[in-house]
Chain A
Amino acid sequence: MIRFWAIIGNTFREGIAKKTILTILVLSTLIIGFFLLALNVGGDIMYLFGAEIDELPEEALRGFEAAVVAFFYQISIFVGIFAVASFFPSMQEKGTIDLLLSRPMSRFSIYTAKFLGCMVIVFVVAAYTILGTWAIFWLKTGIAHKEYLYTIPIFMLAFFAFMGFIAMVGVITRSTTLSAILGIFFPFFFSLIFLGLHNSRILSGYSFWHNFFETLYWIFPKTPELTAWNIDIIAGGAIDIDPVSAIWSTLAFAVGTFAIGALIFQKRSY
């Protein structure tokens, strides 16, 4: 296990050494700082920058939390993809891969440890932002919504799918640029497009294309649904989507892409 942890630890260090991760942490600190300075509660009234909010603190807080989560998903997935897209291509550079593969460690372990190292980086960012804002909300209002903390595991599940895809593309192409671009386009934009087609009746008259896009809809991760579900949980309103199928299909995409990437890494000659 010492070898496994060494790669995870080194990946985390590499992440810290890259300015992207620090930039996300600074952005997160700004969000935390914003609420620390701007939010105040006096009796049953909540103030934002001194302006009275026309809602009960409980409801207003849910609104803030939902807004933070919506913002966090958009920013963190984009920046997170850019932050970790270089890890698998750089690991395979001549001179680096030689030093790694010549160790008494299976390729699957190396791939998995690198993968987990990337996930740890994103987890730290997610935990810092969500726990930080949660703590500020709690300190300022005295209200602690445990539902807000569900953002961390739900976001990590969504990012697991992106990470699986980025790692797979990184192993196949060994290109940071392609990993980042395809990582955003395929699971992110295409998921949105397939969701749109799934919810519309545009293709209902064309059974082949309907089935084709419906299949792709179920193959691709359900990031938009997970985000919506997460926000619904926090807002405390009705939940419009089926979270179980969203979780399972996202998990299947993540595990599938992870397995394909690991298999290619296992078989490749460097």
Chain B
Amino acid sequence: MHIIETNALRKTFTNLVTRRKVHALRGVDLAVERGEIFGLLGPNGAGKTTLVKILLGITYSTAGGAGLFGRSVRRSASRARVGYLPENHRYPGFLKGRQVMAYYARLSGMSGGARKLRIDELLKLVRMAEWAKTKMGKYSKGMQQRVGMAVSMVHDPDLLVLDEPTDGVDPIGRKEIRDILLELKERGKTIFLNSHLLSEVELVCDRIAILNKGKVVSEGSVDELTSVGNVWAIRLQDAPEHLPKLLTEKGFQLREPDEDELMLEAADLATVNGAVDLIRAEGVQIAGIRRRRLTLEEMFIDVIEREGGSGVK
């Protein structure tokens, strides 16, 4: 059983006056497994928030199916084990931090002493215990985000859906949130993360999907998606200008160099060692060798450009 599953999911918004249609989702197939941190990436207007809203019963799909824990998202019971932190959340400003947590804990079905203990525990975890008796309306964006994280975890859900969880949070807070996510993963929880901060997604996610114009255009583990095949970056010190030409003449395949690094295409280690021997024979110092990877940001831009740019259609 998948924790999250969508089949050919479609959502079309129709303007009632102009009859203009916007295809927010155009046949999305996704499967998220238990215990993984899954990142959903995409440019603005790609359909990420629509997808999350369909999963949580906030918006209805036009066609296709979606399920949580094997149950259709149309059934409210499918959300019993889900915690959610929306991007632009509005917690009741007239309630204090602790009261907000108690309210949403009750809405998730928690009662009595267990609720109080859990709230105390989470307020400490997100470092908001000191502010628990201050009204939400007086909190900064970062503080609201911390309480929002705590609210999403209050009923100890098996699936956390987080939309921009570190938005407005300082770097230390971000690190703390990342640590919380990794700890939850260790406890077997599943996390569905929607974030623009690609560096953060890269640090915590096991798998990612890129959504563009309402379609999944790329999906896989971070390693798979950022790997560039058999390309090795060899950093040299004071390399002579003729070295690339020499290597090419000896049959080595080179790619466009990146600053002071030679990009060597090599199907096996023997080829890499052959190139190293040649470079050393020329008396050139090698400062480092690493398998070439794209950053997630480079990969993301590459994928979106390949798909003809971003935007909604």
Q: Could you tell me which A residues sit within 8 Å of B by CB distance?
A: 2-3, 5-7, 10, 13-14, 17, 93-107, 267, 269-270
Q: Which residue of A lies closest to B83 (CB)?
A: A102
- Whether B84 is near chain A, meaning CB under 8 Å from some CB there, is yes
Q: How far, in Å, is B13 (CB) from chain A's closest CB?
A: 8
Contact between B76 and A106, CB atoms less than 8 A apart: yes
User: Min CB distance, A259 to chain B, in Å?
Assistant: 19
Least CB separation from A98: chain B residue: B86
List, in ascending order, chain B residues with CB within 8 A of A3's CB: 106-109
Give the complex CA separation of A269 and B14 in angstroms.
12
In angstroms, how far is the closest chain B Cβ from the Cβ of A153? 29
Which residues of B lie under 8 Å from residue A270 when comparing CB positions? 53, 58-59
Query: Per-residue 0/1 for B127-161: is the Cβ within 8 Å of any A Cβ (1 yes, 0 no)?
Result: 00000000000000000000000010000000001
Total cross-chain contacts (CB, 8 A):
81
Q: Jot down 30 A-B pairs with beta carbons below 8 A, ordered by A.
A: A2-B106, A2-B111, A3-B106, A3-B107, A5-B106, A6-B107, A13-B94, A13-B95, A95-B88, A95-B89, A96-B90, A97-B58, A99-B90, A99-B104, A102-B57, A102-B58, A102-B86, A103-B76, A103-B104, A103-B107, A104-B76, A104-B79, A104-B109, A106-B76, A267-B60, A269-B53, A269-B58, A269-B59, A270-B58, A270-B59
**CB < 8 Å: which of A7, A17, A267 contacts B107?**
A7
| Nearest chain B residue, comparing its CB with the CB of A106 | B76
- Judged by DSSP, the binding face of B is loop
In the assembly, what is the distance between CA of A269 and CA of B10, in Å? Answer: 14
Using known A-B contacts A3-B109, A6-B103, determine if residue A101 contacts B90 with beta carbons closer than 8 Å: no
B107 A100 Cβ-Cβ under 8 A? yes
Inter-chain contact A10/B76, CB cutoff 8 Å: no
Which residues of chain A have C-beta atoms less than 8 A from B89's C-beta?
Answer: 95, 98-99
B56 within 8 A of A: yes
Chain B: minimal CB distance from A81 (Å): 21
- Judged by a CB distance under 8 angstroms, whether B267 is at the interface is no
Chain A nearest CB, measured from B310 CB (Å): 22
Residue of B nearest to A105 (CB): B76
Chain A CB within 10 Å — which of B53, B78, B80 has the most?
B53
Residue contact B106 to A101, C-beta cutoff 8 Å = no
The contact string, 1 if C-beta is below 8 Å from chain A, for chain B 41-69, is 00000000000010011111000000000
Decide: B92 and A10 in contact? CB cutoff 8 A: yes
B24 to chain A, nearest CB (A): 11
What residue of chain B has the Cβ atom nearest to residue A269's Cβ?
B59
CB–CB A105/B86 < 8 A: no
Of A95, A106, A107, A267, the residue contacting B86 (CB under 8 A) is A95
Taking a contact as CB atoms under 8 Å apart, the answer to whether A99 and B109 are in contact is: no
Chain A residues in 8 Å Cβ range of B104: 99, 103
Chain A residues near B8 (CB, 8 Å)?
Answer: none
Given contacts A2-B106, A102-B56, A102-B161, 13 further A-B contacts (CB under 8 A): A6-B103, A7-B107, A10-B103, A95-B89, A95-B90, A98-B56, A98-B58, A99-B86, A101-B56, A103-B76, A104-B80, A105-B76, A269-B53
Q: Chain A nearest CB: distance from B49 CB in Å? A: 9
Chain B neighbourhood of A99, CB < 8 A: 84, 86, 89-91, 104, 151
B residues less than 8 Å from A93 (CB atoms): 90
Residue in A10, A95, A103, A106 whose CB lies within 8 Å of B108: A103
Q: Within the assembled complex, what's the spacing in Å between the Cα atoms of A26 and B126?
A: 41
Residues of B within 8 A of A94 (CB): 88, 90
Are A104 and B94 in touch, CB under 8 angstroms?
A: no
Q: Which residues of A contact B86 (CB under 8 A)?
A: 95, 98-99, 102
Residue B123, interface by CB 8 Å: no
| B82 lies within 8 A of chain A by Cβ | yes
Instruction: Say how far A115's CB is from chain B's closest CB, in angstroms.
Output: 17
Nearest residue (CB) in B for A103 is B107
Contact partners of B53 in chain A: CB under 8 A: 98, 269-270
Could you tell me the distance between the alpha carbons of A178 and B186 in the complex, rounded to whole angstroms?
Answer: 51
Assess the A6–B106 pair: CB atoms within 8 A: yes
Q: Is B31 an interface residue (CB 8 A)?
A: no
Contact between chains at A104 and B77 (CB < 8 Å): yes
A235-B166 Cα distance, complex, nearest whole Å: 65
State A15–B218 Cα separation when bound (angstroms): 48
Docked pose: A102 CA to B89 CA in angstroms? 12
Query: Which residues of chain A have C-beta atoms less than 8 A from B90's C-beta?
Result: 93-96, 99
Closest 7 pairs (CB-CB, A-B)? A17-B94, A6-B106, A95-B90, A104-B80, A102-B56, A269-B59, A102-B84
Determine the chain A residues whose CB is within 8 A of the CB of B78 once the complex forms: 104
Q: How far is the CA of A99 from the CA of B163 in the complex (A)?
A: 12
B106 touches A102 (CB 8 A): no
Which B residues are CB-close (under 8 A) to A13? 92, 94-95
**Across the interface, do B106 and A98 meet the contact criterion of CB distance under 8 Å?**
no
Q: Contacts A5-B106, A7-B107, A98-B53 given; indicate if A103 touches B79 (C-beta within 8 A).
A: yes
The smallest C-beta distance from B145 to any residue of chain A, in angstroms, reads 13
Q: Which residues of A contact B60 (CB under 8 A)?
A: 267, 269
Complex: A208 Cα to B89 Cα, angstroms: 53
Q: Which chain B residue lies CB-closest to A108? A: B76
A172 and B111 alpha carbons, distance in the complex (Å): 34
Contacts of B77 in A (CB 8 A): 104
Rounded to whole Å, the gap between the CB of A67 and the closest CB of chain B is: 36
Give CA–CA (A28, B95) in the complex, Å: 26
Q: In the complex, A240→B58 CA distance in Å?
A: 50
